Amino acid sequence: MVANHGLQALRFVPVTFVIAACLAAAAGCDTRTAPAAPPAAAPAPAAAAVPAAPQPSAPAAAALASTAAEEQALRDEQRREADRLAAMFPQSDDALYLAGLVCNEQGDWRAATAYWEKALALDPSRADTCNNLGYAFAIREDFARAEALFRKAIAIDPSFAEPYEQLGELLVKQGKLDDAVALLASIPAPTAKTARFLGQAYQHLRDYANAKRRYEAAIKLKPDYREVYYSLATVCARLGEREAAEAYRAKFNGMADETQERGRRVRSSLNVLGITKQSTAKTHTDVGRVMTAMGKADEAERLWRRAAAIDPANVESRIFLAAACLRAGRPAEAIARYRELAAIEPENGAHFFNLGALYLRLGQADAAQPVLERLTALAPDNPEAYAALAQARAMTGDVPGALAAIEHAMALDPANVRYRQFHETLNARK
């Protein structure tokens, strides 16, 4: 899978893979059993007329066409902004890397590869770019180049798990089992996938005891790893552990039923346009971050505004917009953005803290108080929440309430000098 590892500012979700995963889950395919033997031949029934497939009504067809057009327009916009970023900053490996992610998402492997090769030439120390290029070459079955790139990614960053997973799977599929064992047994922090591929390598080498141990490690890391239960059933049978084999097979079959049910739910709720909106908004947010790093604050704000308009639930664009508004001296708009964030994520205390602190800074204690009371409910162990609430209450003249809040803060952080000084000031006002 393509990674966003090195560019921590970019938490881009490739919609192509999101949609593919949704469709795979929706299919709910179950190939675990052979088809039953056919029944004895019976006289062929008379041919029945095949009813015509139902056609959508004219309004429904128009709505579908409109949705498809909107989805395509968003994808065009997403690609356009990524290409524009790369054209503006051809010497920025971040810009080229992000442009490659967008091209990859939209299925343009050739353009993605070209961008990533340029990014790697600018910064050969990028493990994420090596990993992504390796994946692109593996898809094209250029296994030698893929392997070299995965190994380079591992050498650059031994803690980066994805190239171990990618290379381990590649080696097993090519039958390079000893190489796979050598690689996967050396990973600093095994993942469920690396444990599974190591189990596969041992299984192909007929070392069933080691295979079993690795498969068990995989399901310990990922208890819902359905495919591994089938592998465990197989190796346990090879080891003569009949009861364990039957138990693992039963678990596999039960999880297959769950997969089919999940697929039915996915089919009923799949919203490709919604996914595209989320993805395009994330791309605009990330392009805005690169623009900021390159000194293009106005461009960044334009992109963040567009991201917020495309996706009403996008959090990051609103966080950056609020900060941009504060830098530009527009606190009222920053308040509006923080209020949006609190509505989107009502359990995230950071949004309430930022909103309450801004109200206090503007002298709007009446507005700050309910926000900070909500914050103390969300973060009852955070002394700063109570200290801010104490300040708001003091500003409104509620000295007893302010004392109660600051004493709560002092109980949580007894060594805080600032809290003690504020407590003394409040006592003097009694």
Q: Digits of tens for pLDDT over the chain (430 positions)?
A: 665 544 443 433 333 333 334 434 444 433 333 323 333 333 344 444 545 555 566 666 676 678 889 999 999 999 999 999 999 999 999 999 999 999 999 999 999 999 999 999 999 999 999 999 999 999 999 999 999 999 999 999 999 999 999 999 999 999 999 999 999 999 999 999 999 999 999 999 999 999 999 999 999 999 999 999 999 999 999 999 999 999 999 999 999 766 666 666 655 556 889 999 999 999 999 999 999 999 999 999 999 999 999 999 999 999 999 999 999 999 999 999 999 999 999 999 999 999 999 999 999 999 999 999 999 999 999 999 999 999 999 999 999 999 999 999 999 999 999 999 999 999 998 7
With respect to residue 214, please indicate whether it lies within any of the assigned structural domains.
yes
Residue 56, SS3? Answer: coil
Distance from C-alpha of 69 to C-alpha of 26, rounded to nearest angstrom: 24
Please, are residues 362 and 342 in contact by the beta-carbon 8 Å criterion?
no
Q: In Å, how far from its chain's centre is CA 357?
A: 30
Number of domains in the chain: 3
pLDDT given for residue 52 in this prediction? 55
CA angle 171, 172, 178 (to 5 degrees): 75
Please, are residues 275 and 15 in contact by the beta-carbon 8 Å criterion?
yes
Judge if 229 and 353 occupy the same domain. no
Helix axis angle, 109-122 to 127-139, nearest 10° = 150
Judge if 233 and 243 occupy the same domain. yes
Find the length of the chain: 430
Q: Which domain holds residue 281?
A: 266-328
Judge if 142 and 244 occupy the same domain. yes
Distance from C-alpha of 99 to C-alpha of 90, rounded to nearest angstrom: 11
Distance from C-alpha of 84 to C-alpha of 378, rounded to nearest angstrom: 42
Judge if 199 and 161 occupy the same domain. yes
Judge if 226 and 275 occupy the same domain. no
Out of 221, 236, 265, a domain closes at: 265
DSSP 327-387: HTT-HHHHHHHHHHHHHH-TT-HHHHHHHHHHHHHTT-HHHHHHHHHHHHHH-TT-HHHHH
pLDDT given for residue 79 in this prediction? 98
Which sign does the torsion angle of CA 278, 281, 285, 291 carry? Answer: positive
pLDDT given for residue 39 in this prediction? 32
Residue 294: closest CA among 87, 82, 92, 8: 92
With respect to residue 26, please indicate whether it lies within any of the assigned structural domains.
no
Distance from C-alpha of 430 to C-alpha of 423, rounded to nearest angstrom: 11
Burial (CB count <10 Å: 0-12, 13-18, 19+), residue 101: buried
Domain CATH for 349: 1.25.40.10
